[in-house]
Chains A and B, each alone.
Chain A
Amino acid sequence: MSDLLKRLESNLGKKAKSVSSTKRRRYSITVEPENIVDVAKTLSEVSGGRFMTSTCVDEGLDFSIMHHFDIGGEVVTLGSSIPKENPQLPSIAPVVPAAQWIEREITDLFGVRFEGHPQQEGIIANESWTGQTPPLQKPREGRVVPEYRGAVENVIALGAVVPLSSFTKKKREESGLPSTTITLEDEKALGEVHEVIKRSKADQRAGFDWKKKKLRYK
């Protein structure tokens, strides 16, 4: 493990979700949005990092925001992911003033709002863009093709491709069949299946919203 990696892990502690070396002289730190300012401050003030620039990638359902620092000739990227339904991230500009312009550019081009930015106004886009979809923002889309979305939602939410109707349930009882043992009728088993799906990260890959029991895109 390199000295820098050790120092980063030690300085950041639990504020970082992960700290890793991606290739020679390149490091990646991922954080939850609420920790991005503290970690940027540590990189700048404790680790002696020089802010280089920021990038934003439209991942379809989420934006990935990455702030890049030069620490003694090595590049450290601080990244966080935010949902496109609510594209807000705390601004690092109050603690890293050099990030002011690039955060404003990202706002103009992608529509990401940086909370706490000292100068929240356009910098690059023409005024005629106001009120329109930002020029680099793509439609909110996930990996499941439209035709298969209903079936995938049912498998994740119910453990079955189709729900059991009250009519069929009644008819099953009338015909003397036992209650079906599929997860539809078994809350404990369905709860286990939900956890198994979450652990396999299939819900994240599909872009499933557990509160709405739907995919995050139509």
Chain B
Amino acid sequence: MKGYALFLGCNIPIRYPCTEIATRRVFKEFDISLADMKGYTCCPDPVVTRLADAEMSYVLSARNLSLAEEKGLNVMTVCNGCQETLLEANEALKSDRDLRNRVNQILSEYGREYKGTIDVKHAVEVLHEDVGISKIKERANTLRFKAANHYGCHIFRTKEENEDPWRIPNMMKDLVDATGVEFVEYGLERLCCGYPPLLADPKLALEERLLPKLKGIEKAQARCVVVSCPACMIQFESGQVKLKEMGAGKLPVIHVLELLGLAMGMKPEELHLEFHRSPVMELAKEVSG
């Protein structure tokens, strides 16, 4: 049985326990063990904390990575923001000896050390590479409706300089396809959902980022939008409420792991999809029979 250190971040356990349930159950079904990381912190988030204090951001990321290193496991993230933060911190700490020494000087006082011995992978990558699309398709090819994808900006970050930025987004496409869902394009897949600039410029974030996407998805006649990031999920769900007067509807917003869970026969009630602010529960009940 393969295993990973599960890095849930802040938003999933606090705002979307449904995604946590789906993650734990889907990986169990595929015989991949997930070890909890006791005493982890925010990754920390790739926009606010890194801009406010890069040094603190590296120290906290290194501490989180060291928790996984203590278990001898690679990290698996379920959030694009956590993925970017931990991936970039891991690479920076591996390649910059001065930074690593500074960080380790602080961590060593608490009996910890960042060694640079592990990798960071998104759940989408783990499913695609460790389980394989054919095996997933065998188990999950049960859904029959149209859906649009929103990949989220941070998942386009690459580890290698010449790596294709579409590597993980394409894997997500394959996963959605493996559930039997008909994947529809709306032309604005690459546009940011607006979550990162929401604090600084709500008008831009909602009216110039989220709204065009919502309209595009509606035009493409998708029944829902599939995401791989809880921050995007918050923006899509809360943003629709804020944009109601501008014509936004009630588009269900579902995490790709929840979609997989449904496709594999997990009941909407068991997944506790009521945590969503958009009508995911209603859609799930309808499509999962």
Q: Using CB atoms and an 8 Å cutoff, list the residues of chain A in contact with chain B.
A: 143-145, 147-148, 151-152, 154-155, 159-165, 168, 171-172, 175-178, 180-184, 186, 188-190, 192-193, 195-197, 199-202, 205-206
Which chain B residues in 47-80 approach chain A with CB under 8 Å?
48-49, 51-53, 55-56, 59-60, 63
B102-110, B156-164, B276-284: which lies at the interface: B102-110
Contacts of A176 in B (CB 8 A): 21
List chain B residues, Cβ under 8 A from A148: 48, 51-52, 199
Taking a contact as CB atoms closer than 8 A, the residue among B37, B42, B200, B272 that contacts A155 in the complex is B42
Give residues 10-55 of B contacting A (CB, 8 Å). Answer: 10-11, 13-15, 17, 20-21, 24, 36-42, 44-45, 48-49, 51-53, 55
Q: A151-B199, A162-B15, A171-B17 are in contact. Are A206 and B53 (CB under 8 A)?
A: yes
Q: Is the CB of B40 within 8 A of A183?
A: yes
B111 to chain A, nearest CB (A): 9
B108 smallest CB distance to A (angstroms): 10
Q: Is the CB of B45 within 8 A of A161?
A: yes
Contacts of A180 in B (CB 8 A): 8, 13-14
> What residues on B are CB-neighbors of A155 within 8 Å?
41-42, 44-45, 48-49, 60
A164–B8 CA distance with the chains assembled, in angstroms: 14
**Chain B contact residue count (CB 8 A cutoff):** 37
| Distance from A61 Cβ to chain B, minimum over Cβ atoms (Å) | 15
Tell me whether B59 and A200 are in contact (CB under 8 A). yes
Q: B17 touching A175 by the CB < 8 A rule?
A: yes
Our pick among B10, B17, B200 for the contact of A172 (Cβ within 8 Å) is B17
Confirm or deny: B166 has a beta carbon within 8 angstroms of a beta carbon on chain A.
no
Interface pair B40/A202, CB less than 8 Å apart: no
- Max chain A CB contacts within 10 Å: which of B38, B39, B110? B39
Complex Cα distance, B8 from A103, in Å, reads 55
Q: List 8 A-B contacts (CB under 8 A).
A: A155-B49, A159-B42, A161-B11, A168-B14, A168-B17, A177-B24, A195-B110, A202-B53
Q: Please report the C-alpha to C-alpha distance between residue A88 and residue B41 in the assembled complex, in whole angstroms.
A: 37
Tell me which residues across on chain B come within 8 A of A160, comparing CB atoms.
10, 14, 41-42
Which chain A residues border B145 with CB–CB below 8 Å?
none
A4 to B234 CA separation, bound complex (whole angstroms): 62
Nearest CB of chain A from residue B185's CB, rounded to whole Å = 32
Q: How far is the CB of B94 from chain A (nearest CB, A)?
A: 19
> Which of chain B's residues have a CB closer than 8 A to the CB of A164?
13-14
Which chain A residue lies CB-closest to B53? A202
- Is there an interface contact between B59 and A197, defined as CB atoms closer than 8 Å? yes
Contact present for B13 and A151 (CB under 8 Å): no
Which residue of the partner chain, among A144, A178, A190, A196, contacts B110 with CB atoms under 8 Å? A196
Contacts of A189 in B (CB 8 A): 38-41
Given A182-B41, A196-B107, A199-B109: A177 in contact with B55 (beta carbons within 8 A) = no
Contact B17 A143 (CB under 8 A): no
Cα distance, A188 to B110, chains bound together (Å)? 11
Bound: A172/B199 CA distance, A: 28
Interface centre among B24, B52, B109 (most CB of A within 10 A): B52
> Which of B15, B107, B272 touches A175 (beta carbons < 8 Å)?
B272
Chain B residues near A175: list those with CB within 8 A.
17, 21, 272
Binary contact readout B125-146 vs A (1 if CB under 8 angstroms, 0 otherwise): 0000000000000000000000
Residues of B within 8 A of A186 (CB): 38-39
Question: Of B48, B106, B200, which contacts A199 at CB under 8 A?
Answer: B106
Assembled-state Cα–Cα distance A91/B257 (Å): 65
- Chain B residues whose C-beta falls within 8 Å of the C-beta of A165 in the assembled complex: 14
B52 touches A143 (CB 8 A): yes
Q: For A181, list chain B residues within 8 Å (CB).
A: 36-40
Known: A188-B39, A199-B109, A202-B56. A151 touches B48 (CB 8 A): yes
Given contact pairs A177-B24, A189-B40, A205-B56, a sample of 19 additional A-B residue pairs in the complex whose CB atoms are under 8 Å apart: A148-B199, A152-B52, A155-B49, A155-B60, A159-B42, A162-B10, A164-B14, A181-B38, A181-B40, A182-B10, A189-B41, A192-B39, A192-B110, A193-B41, A200-B55, A202-B53, A205-B53, A205-B55, A206-B53
